[in-house]
A and B are shown apart, each in its own frame.
Chain A
Amino acid sequence: MVAPDPGRAICRIWRQGGQDYVYDAGTDRVASVSPAVAVRLDAQVSGAVGLAGDSAAEQEIREARDALGLFRTHRPRLTPKRQGRERRDEYLDRLSQLTLTLDERCNLRCAYCPHTLAAAWTRPHGDRQMSPDTVRAAVGLFLDRAGGETPSISLYGGEPLLAPGLIRLVAQMVSDSRRPQVQIVVDTNGTLLDDTMVELVAELGLHLQVSLDGPEAIHDRWRPTAVGRPTHTAVLAGLRRLLDRDPAAAGRLRIQATLAPGSDMLEADAFFGELGRELGIPDLPVGASYADLEGADDALLPSLPPGTPPTADGWERARAAYVEACAAGRHADLGPLVRSWFDGPLLRFYHRDPRPLGEFFQPGGACAPGLRRLHVGSDGMFQPCERVGTAFGIGDVRRGFDFDAIDRLERDWFDALAGRCADCWALRHCGLCFSAMIDRKTGRVGAVPQEACNSVREGFEEMLHLWVDLLARSPRALDHLKNSSVS
């Protein structure tokens, strides 16, 4: 059955740097257009007029439609994903990332941590450790059937280095399996990397993702121990100790920075650039994200100097630095944090599917729960991932996947979007997942709020503006993407 065609293209039109542009969702392409075409398209997209006129602009639009496929008015029919029950044979065979909450305990009390903030949608700081039997059951399932080229097991907490015996158990199971190439990634705060722990990391070839927020003053404001002591010095000492003992660990190390109020993106970028040089890792991988303080009780947050912006500062300056460097062919001179922050969305758009919008479309950006990634809580419960807290149980290590729960979640997700995606110009780049159904204040699950959709459009539009800015400055400004790939 063909989807209803409302007679309007799915486009976003904007003016930037004195030039009009349009993003066409049908072809997933950006085009520069004349002011007359922009005005005409804007009226047509809003439904005010059709395209039957004979003005020069209308003629140009029709020619672009015929020659380039732009501005077609076709709408896809929204469909839910295939039910989990229908694809149950794929489950486990397609799984490529297993995340285990090994230990709910943590020796830190990071002020932006949802556990510290007692967020309604997830557990508070706990004291439960995963039992060895649960570890064996979860890892056994994974190693028997895991698929993908680079299957990995992520050890998560709390602080997973508080459970070295369980880490050793996981490593032993991997080593004894037919999949010894499975990567084990420890998501750690990096404060416990003493000689014993460094030996463990070296001996087992563990990959580390270490949380480090930048310069000492910023990091220590947000990431104290449970008794309020600073941690920056311990993290850096641990990294140096690790690399002294095991220089090859340089290739297994990644930093994750949280940008909280009072921090500055460029300052953090400079810090990580210097850290990479000091550690002898010039391409030190650094990921970053903003602290999520929505709904947080101010009394639980650290005091900040008067006038501190509510989010990390420096985004505009970092963007300007990125554009300048790319246009001058100096992308490699940028620091690791700015590179990763701005490269990512550009890379995804660069590698986007070149095919036009098809007849059917599965809305939103949610995963097929448990298919490729699976989180196992300390109690053995399955959840789609660690980012949705405990809101969506989809099975457990004893009974396996609960396909009724998976199918229910898929249906709820489709209903929560309420068909609004068919007319959204950002539908091909929606990043919303199940977490958008969780009310952050109450923890209740319900409809996806319109603000979440607005946020997706704003984020995508910022990427489009960056894309245009770069290519307007220099046709070679995206040359650093030439040899990239996404896997």
Chain B
Amino acid sequence: MIKIVEPDHRPEIQAAVTDWSCNCNCLCSCAAGDSVVNKPTRSPSSDPTALPTILGKRGRA
């Protein structure tokens, strides 16, 4: 049986949530970018291209 794995409350319609109209999908957490604190869940081993923290303002994808 193929069964979708979702919480029953996930929003069906994406509000104008994120204005990603600039196409920015970076994983940084800019102070004034995504209001959500969006750090990668990556473990250290899978984060070889982590961006520089000191330049990552942010907030840092």
| A interface residues, Cβ below 8 angstroms from B | 21, 29-34, 37, 60-61, 63-64, 68, 70, 81, 94, 96-97, 99, 110, 112-115, 119, 122, 148, 150-152, 154, 156, 183, 185, 187, 207, 209, 254, 256, 258, 285, 287-292, 294, 309-312, 315-316, 319, 340-348, 350-355, 362, 364-368, 371-373, 385-387, 389, 429-431, 433, 435-436, 451-452, 455, 458-459, 462-463, 466-468, 471, 475-479, 481-482, 484-487
Contact = CB atoms under 8 A, between A and B. Distances in A.
Interface in B1-29: 1-15, 17-19, 21-29
A79 to B, nearest CB: 11
Contacts of A347: 36, 38
Contacts, number: 252
Contacts of A310: 44
Contact of B14 (A148, A351, A462, A475): A351
Q: Counting chain B CB atoms within 10 Å of each CB, which of A207, A481, A487 scores highest?
A: A487
B38 A372 contact: no
Given A341-B39, A344-B38, A154 B31 contact: yes
Nearest to B1: A34
A14 B2 CA distance: 14
Contacts of A468: 5
Main secondary structure of the interface of A (DSSP, over half): mixed
Interface of B: 1-15, 17-19, 21-61
B2 A68 contact: yes
Given A64-B2, A340-B39, A373-B24, 12 more contacts: A32-B5, A292-B53, A294-B50, A341-B41, A344-B41, A345-B39, A365-B26, A367-B26, A431-B26, A433-B61, A458-B46, A486-B36
Contacts of B23: 81, 362, 365-368
8 contacts: A187-B57, A256-B57, A288-B39, A289-B53, A340-B39, A365-B23, A459-B42, A486-B36
